Structure 1
Amino acid sequence: MKPPLTSSASSCSCTSLLLRKLRLPPYYLLTFLALLLYAIFSGKEFLCIFSQLHFHADPVSDHSNRKNDSTKILTFAVGETETEKGCDVFSGRWVRDESTRPLYEESECPYIQPQLTCQEHGRPEKEYQFWRWQPHACSLPGFNATLMLETLRGKRMMFVGDSLNRGQFVSMVCLLHRAIPEAAKSMETNGSLTIFRAKDYNASVEFYWAPFLLESNADDAVIHRLSDRIVRRGSINKHGRHWKGVDILVFNTYLWWMTGAKFKILQGSFQDEVKEIVELPTEDAYRLAIKSMVRWIRKNMNPKTTRVFFASMSPSHQKSVEWGGEETGNCYNETAIIEDPAYWGSDTKRSIMEVIGEVLRGSQSKVKITFLNITQLSGYRKDAHTSIYKKQWRPLTAEQLANPVSYADCIHWCLPGLQDTWNELLFAKLFYP
């Protein structure tokens, strides 16, 4: 099994991989030879840095002109054999790795919300932090914060969606912030928008709260805990005006749609005195939102300058019977991963995945959206949820305290943890699509 390609890999290894795997076009030859001589006299490490920065700088602006050529993809994306043309990084297994995990310490990142700081809230072990995702036919690159920040220089990256996408946003901030001097970074929240700024790079990483993408009665970033959820048909521009001008967009929407077999759709406006509301099957209502997102991207995003990603649903682990546990159990007290490669969980995820696949496949000729298929790899991680180890919104009752299963959060994820892997996959797809 190959180890992950990281910035700490040996210079010799990096150099030999570069020479073996990259066939330089003629107009690179003189530059390459000059840099090779420089590397010999000034130290081998420079060539390794060159191999990462030169060929893959500014993938956002260059994406539309990149040829579908395996010579432009480094070894971790090519696969284990010379003949393989690519690798499905979402198909793999979890391997325990104490040498590279966690990617940061909980106490080192001041931006993690108290709903995600499991160690601070009493989780007695750290096993969930030591798992690395290993694709079957290749290895993921190590997350390179400096390369990411250089790519973001003068740009905006935005995560749009619900609290699970906010967790991925916070993970990204934690992965980047140590590479930025203390006085050169800031975080601020104004309503639905949270912005992390890297001042020396004139860059920002942002999160925008829009759990349905469309306008809804749950749009308040703080007060949105309601069961009777309503979405307004054809209303994506209400939020979309805040997304214009962004260079890298990462969308998600799933969790808030899961209220039952039917979902309420508002035909007019929330300001109408008499509101016209219809109920649709949840899959059909969800399809409306995804189609609206695709149309908005096509009309407002320039594929030559912008990369757009859509993350599939983040699985929950509410019923331990699904993985062979007790009928009354859930993720509480789970410290081991699910090792059955065929494990999927509930059928609801399958139907929603079918909707996503149908819409995104149908739109590929009109708009470029990179699909981050995090669902199954996250499904194996029943151990990684916040469970009871988080800030509680309300004081717990005596009955709850006596039965921790009753209030365990089996939806959100501890940081550091699983969502750092989501960002490693995002990093890989951003630079090596």
Structure 2
Amino acid sequence: MGAKTPFKDQQSYSLTKKLVPYALYALVPLIFIRLYLYPIPITQSQRSQEEFHTNPISSTSSISTPSPVQEKRPKPKENQCDYFNGKWVHDKWGPLYNGTTCSTIKDGQNCITHGRPDMDYLYWRWRPKQCKLPRFNPSNFLQLVKNKHLVFIGDSMARNQLESLLCLLSSASLPDLVYANGEENKFRRWNFVSHNVNISVYWSPFLVKGIEKSNEFNYNKLLLDLVDEKWAADMDQFDMVVLSVGHWFLHPAVYYDKDVVLGCHYCPGMNYTEIGFYDVFRKAFKTTLKAIIDRRGSNAVDVFVTTFSPAHFEGEWDKAGACPKKEPFKEGEKIVEWMDAEMRKIEVEEVEKAKENAASIAGLRFEALDVTKLSIMRPDGHPGPYMNPFPFADGVKDRVQNDCVHWCLPGPIDTWNEIMLEMIKRLEGHSSRES
């Protein structure tokens, strides 16, 4: 008694030997099903390594020549159209206005009256992938901004967008110029009596306080901790703000923060550290958006940041054929990368941060008017040599001044305001404010 039975152990061992393979066969598919339905979460360290390899440019890069970072588009919210992802398609209807029916076009963007011979650039429409972008309805826009003050703040691209909007609205109601001041009337205001709407433009190419280059010094001075009081002093009078800057940050400049020199961009011969302009661009937006939050007064304010609009120079700016394209790029033919992508990325990121900071503040909303992709696909929409009247009246010249930055009016920039109208509709549809 008590002795082990060799036969029983052998029998148990044989049974186990037979069952193990069957158990393994049963477990393998279960493991695959488990992994498919409940994938292993990526740890923070794994995620950081992946981001390092897929996006080598950090958001705080300050070098002058970036790696070819490409545009990354955030996913739109559920059931919300992404108006900024699409393609240009031919359109037989053309624009709402022309160079003679609108009186507020800046001379340099009036391509039709300056003798531009090709008209095909007027017959394209932006078609988002997910939805339809309606034609601009001027009466609808004026009704949405009734009794409000809409302001454009920034450089000449802000002015370009403003003048596009004035022309679009003029097809329904003519504005009265009620204020003009500054060199080249850089500060102006129009009033639409029909809806008691004021639309203003404030020249502020850096948004923060800056001293523009002059005959005394050939570089700009930027005070990154101080907002530009030319517009900020009136902040409590605004109901809707459109910010648009970028190209002036590419110019030579010296940067200050609390009266301390941080460095400079393209300042050979000066005893300052070259730091580029990306960090500066970001800092300027931080200062600006914080000032809007702090100084808006009692008004409810919607803020739109128009993202960077790329230039299309091919070769020298003063040589014939500097922007020679006669039709849009096709989908995939041109992508947003390098500096264009980095400038856009900074603006979109700062808008998202401002949204978070203002999340608990009633009546304050921030949106990115993300026009970079749709703009880079329109190399045909610039004045080129027709920034001046009839540049080839005396024959074709080898050297001629070109504008491959701003946009003809009418032209592709009208689409920016079409999209802005849809964004205002979307905001008002989810708003408890009275319009």
AA aligned to 2:346 is V
Native 8 Å contact 1:218 1:224 kept in 2 = no
Does the aligned pair in 2 maintain the 1:265–1:279 contact within 8 Å?
no
Counterpart position of 1:390: 387
Residue 66 of structure 2 corresponds to which residue in structure 1?
none
The residue aligned with 1:129 is 122
Shift of 1:300: 2.0
Residue of 82, 87, 92 corresponding to 1:88: 82
TM-score by length of structure 1 reads 0.69
Within 1, Cα distance between the matches of 2:327 and 2:139?
33
**What secondary structure, in the 3-state scheme, does the structure 2 residue paired with 1:157 have?**
strand
Cα separation, partners in 2 of 1:278 and 1:360, compared to 1, 3 Å: farther
**Partner of 2:254 in structure 1?**
264
Post-superposition offset of 1:302: 6.4
Rounded to whole Å, the distance in 2 between the matches of 1:234 and 1:390 is 36
- What's the Cα RMSD here? 3.3
Q: Which runs of 5+ in 2 are unaligned?
A: 1-75, 261-270, 359-364, 428-435
Alignment match, 2:198? 204
Local SS of the residue matching 1:432: helix
Against the structure 1 CA distance between its residues 372 and 130, is the aligned structure 2 distance closer, same or farther, given a 3 Å change threshold? same
Partner of 1:13: none
Q: Distance in 1 between matches of 2:145 and 2:259?
A: 38
Give 1:262-341 correspondences, 5 Å limit.
Answer: 263-267=253-257, 280-301=275-296, 305-319=300-314, 331-341=322-332
Matched positions, count: 329
Inter-partner Cα distance in structure 2 for 1:140 and 1:345:
22
Gap change, CA 1:329 and 1:287, over 3 Å in 2: farther
Asked if 1 retains the 8 angstrom alpha-carbon contact of 2:320 and 2:398, the reply is no
Shift of residue 152 of structure 1? 2.3
Q: Which runs of 5+ in 1 are unaligned?
A: 1-78, 271-275, 322-327
TM-score of the pair, normalised by structure 2: 0.68
Q: Take 1:357 and 1:303, find their aligned partners in 2: how far apart are those partners?
A: 26
Provide the rounded CA distance (Å) in 1 between the counterparts of 2:396 and 2:216.
Answer: 22
* Deviation for aligned residue 1:185: 2.7
Counterpart among 338, 347, 351 of residue 342 in structure 2: 351
1:186 alignment counterpart? 177
The change in CA–CA distance for 1:360 and 1:312 in structure 2 (over 3 A counts) is same
Matched, 1:414 2:411: no
Partner Cα separation in structure 2 for residue 203 and residue 277 of structure 1? 47
Does structure 1 retain, via aligned residues, the 8 Å contact 2:327–2:379? yes
* Counterpart code for 1:169: L
Distance 1:227 1:87, change over 3 A: farther
Q: Give the 3 Å change call, closer, same or farther, for CA 224–235 of structure 1 in structure 2.
A: farther
Q: For residues 425 and 216 of structure 2, what CA distance do their matches in structure 1 show?
A: 37
Instruction: Work out the CA distance in 1 between the residues paired with 2:273 and 2:244.
Output: 24
For residue 5 of structure 1, what is the aligned residue in structure 2? none
Instruction: Verify the 8 A CA contact 2:237 2:299 in the aligned structure 1.
Output: no
**What secondary structure sits across from 1:106 in the alignment?**
coil
Q: Structure 1 364/153 Cα, relative in aligned 2: closer, same or farther at 3 Å?
A: closer
Which structure has the greater CA radius of gyration? 2
Contact 2:204 2:228 in 1 (8 A): no
